[in-house]
Amino acid sequence: MTLHQLWFGVLAVLFLGFLILEGFDFGVGMLMEPLARVGSGDPESRRRAVLNTIGPVWDGNEVWLITAGGAMFAAYPGMYATVFSSLYLPLLAILFGMIVRAVSIEWRGKIDDPKWRRWADFGIAAGSWLPALLWGVAFAVLVRGLPVNAKHQVHLSVTDVLNAYTLLGGLATCGLFLLYGAIFVALKTSGPVHDDALRAATWLSLPVTALVAGFGMWTQLAYGKTWTWLVLAVAVVAQLAAVALVLSRAHEGWAFLCTALVVTAVVVLLFGALYPDLVPSTLNPQWSVTINNASSSPYTLTIMTWATAIFAPLVMVYQGWTYWVFRQRISADRIPPSIGLARRAP
């Protein structure tokens, strides 16, 4: 295996780390408002119970994206340059979403005022729905290919970004993250919020299964390799297992792991469909951005391999430890009172 090939795998793992962790963060953000409104109990305590399931970890989860971006820059500068300049506007929307979400989560409890919280809740919702949808669109756009010219530049038209396949991709990731988030909330809470999260997962399970299967099938038929059939099969089996576990109200931990496996399989399917291209050219296959023509020099890739081999396992250990420290469930009736300040000084 050459370093060019190895780094395709490393990049896939970094994006996988991002989507597998931030996936349920997005789901939690999207479900915060709906879960507060249904069921019994004070909506504000329910909202906070849902939000605090990701409280200590969401920021660390997001670093997987930053690192994936940095690694793409270092390992495949050609890909970094082409992808981010051509998908300028969708990426901008994702960035604004993530900016607004970050400050909303961090600032929400700082002021004890209903209007203030409504704005923060809007920021969290918008900052979760938008990226959840747009990451699916973005990956589908990449797999489908862009009008890359011989100089690896792209002159984009709207239909390159928005078409039936990419929209299905967006809906599939959005739906999958909703289900994933609902199961995560069920795993991390107790009491009425827990029951309602499971109910939400139940409602979501069939439509999400249809969306994921549809998107997976389309990807496989149009862009897949022979071996990715196996990946698609894993995705479908894991999805069905997750649905069965949700419907039977059985072990939530296993349901969560099965959904995480679905996310994994979808990411592997997308990257598998892409390989060995990084950005396939729809104009001429000769012009595609590939792992060979867009990669860094062997020296740089070697350095990056060492850095990743040392730090990535370490990151997994201490992030894993964080999840262990905050392993207990959260209950809406045990949420401490808000310590935010009043809007005006008394």
Contact call for residue 102 and other proteins (CB under 8 A): yes
Question: How many CA atoms lie within 13 Å of 252's alpha carbon, on the beta-carbon side?
Answer: 20
Min dist. Cβ of residue 101 to other proteins (A): 8
Pick from 6, 38, 111, 234: which binds other proteins (CB under 8 A)? 111
13/18 Cα distance (integer angstroms): 9
SS3 assignment, position 232: helix
Complex with other proteins: residue 113 or 247, whichever CB lies closer: 113
H/E stretch holding 136 reads helix 114-144
Pick from 21, 28, 30, 83: which binds other proteins (CB under 8 A)? 83
Which residue stretch of 90-98, 166-174, 205-213, 245-253 sits at the interface with other proteins (rule: CB under 8 A)?
A: 90-98
Which residue stretch of 132-140, 264-272, 279-287, 313-321 sits at the interface with other proteins (rule: CB under 8 A)?
A: 313-321
**215-274 binders of other proteins (CB under 8 A):** none
Q: How many residues bind other proteins, per CB under 8 A?
A: 78
Which residue stretch of 91-99, 178-186, 248-256, 275-283 sits at the interface with other proteins (rule: CB under 8 A)?
A: 91-99
Contact call for residue 305 and other proteins (CB under 8 A): no
SS3 assignment, position 154: strand
Here's the x/- map for other proteins, 147-166, by CB under 8 A: it reads as -----xx-------------
SS3 assignment, position 191: coil
Contact call for residue 329 and other proteins (CB under 8 A): yes
Q: How far are the Cα atoms of 87, 88, 262, 281 from residue 146, in angstroms, in the given order?
A: 10, 13, 27, 5
33/212 Cα distance (integer angstroms): 24
Complex with other proteins: residue 112 or 254, whichever CB lies closer: 112
- The residue type of 91 is L
Min dist. Cβ of residue 86 to other proteins (A): 9
Pick from 6, 38, 81, 126: which binds other proteins (CB under 8 A)? 81
Contact call for residue 69 and other proteins (CB under 8 A): yes
Which residue stretch of 34-42, 63-71, 264-272, 276-284 sits at the interface with other proteins (rule: CB under 8 A)?
A: 63-71
Q: What is the DSSP annotation of 40-95? A: SS-HHHHHHHHHHTSTTTHHHHHHHHHHHHHHHHHH-HHHHHHHHHHTHHHHHHHH
- For residue 200, give both structure tokens: 């939400």
Note whether 125 and 33 are within 8 A (CB): yes
